[in-house]
Chain A
Amino acid sequence: MNTNSNTYTVIYTTVLVVIVAAILAFAASALKSRQQANMDLAKMKTIMQAACIGQTPDGNADKAADFMKLYNDHITNTFVIDAEGKVVEGVDAFKDVDLKAQYSNLKKGLPVQLPVYECTMDDGRKVNILAMYGAGLWGAIWGYVGVEDDNETLCGAIFDHASETPGLGAKIAEAPFYTQFRGKKLSDAGQFSSVKVIKGGANGSANGVDAISGATMTSKAVSASLEQWLGAYKAFLTNRTSAAAQPCCSEEAECGQNSECDE
């Protein structure tokens, strides 16, 4: 048979491609549920670590921890809010919100959907875990921050990246960097402010952390993305603060002690 004729070549390649496509389609659909489960677990693991759950004392992820159980035990509520802090109905924070799409909406000034994970700590404290996504030096960076019930103090933070430089920018995903965020304040001289990543050292600043030496661009990107996203969450956090302050004013006895109520 002439293997160089046009008809033969066309038929040969068509048959080959159809067979290969069938094999790949079968493999992709057979493995899809397992892959999705892995991705969900990885997401649960990052969300939990933003509230410092499932971490060893040095801040690294505890290898023995079952993050799916921890997630199900601690996350008591999830919801999606818009930039005015109002709850968006009918959207699942875990499944439906694509942070990358929200990041491009945020840049263009379009309406955004911001996920909030309400986490109940072992001692009963409630921590709201907020998301972050941005552009690093080489690729995407993303992360979560846990904000305590006072809507001001950070309980923890975690970051990850697609392709930052190993040994330099990639250090944002390592414990010595992200544990610095614990206990930092989302305020500067009484005003709402994001936590800043400061080149040259934060020197114990209440809302600043040390940048990574040799990774100025990635450090700046973390700082800028945090500012952008926490800025979007600002309405949600400040609404909660004023809502929490309301009941105390109705009781006159406590009102005198609360200087904010006098205004």
Chain B
Amino acid sequence: MGRGRRLYGLSAVLAALGLAGFALVLGSLLKSGLPILTWHFLTSSGPGGIGPEILNTAVLCAIALVVTVPLGLMVAVYQGEYLRRRSRRVRELDHLRATLMSAPTIVVALVIYRVAVGWWHWPVSLMTGALALAVINWPFMVAVSRSALASVPDSYREASLALGASRFETVIKVVIPAALGNLIEGIGMSLARLAGESAALIVTAGVNVSQHWSLWGPGETLAVHIWYIRTEGLVSGRDAEAAATGLTLMIGISVVLWLASRAARLFGRSQGGYDGA
């Protein structure tokens, strides 16, 4: 039975190699970070604590999501429900979305830096960071909403329209509820992506922690903290702190994704993605 299955063997070896790579990443993260991951570490501020960073991350992600979830959904509804399927405008919006979505986040930061900091005189702050995150996340939310809406069969729409409902009523009462599971899962994914963003935030939100409760003060996030103390920090030997921060971030992201997939199942996520063999 081994005959003619050499590529399968080779594949298994390669897969094991990839697995080993990730085991190394997670292993070294756990080894360095776990010993100092304490309640005190999570809640206190200053060296040896990441309380403010957790708060800043949550605030930035929350603002960006509150802004981009409705905006992304609206663009997707306009494309998918109001425009003709293969019209030129739909295609142009798709090209724009795909290009912006794959644009490096540092490019978005460059633009925000010029427009918000340069032209509008916003300070390097949580607010500027939130603006950058919103610009980064908008195309992602459009993509998530597009594919969620597309997963709803047309027969649902036709049934509703045939009963005399308007397009808008159909979208609100039929399409979005049917797409809700996929939407929630996509929002979870985009939240995870935002929580891990660093390059754009270093430029727009800065690497300091504000002492005041203001959105106009600088706001370092967890991801930025990892970079800052590992590469720029003046105190040496803070590997462990970076690792523990990384662990915190990974745990947070895993919990978000897990909750999102649980909630998605609750709202009837349609079987998407992988088709099985």
The yes or no verdict on A and B being binding partners is no
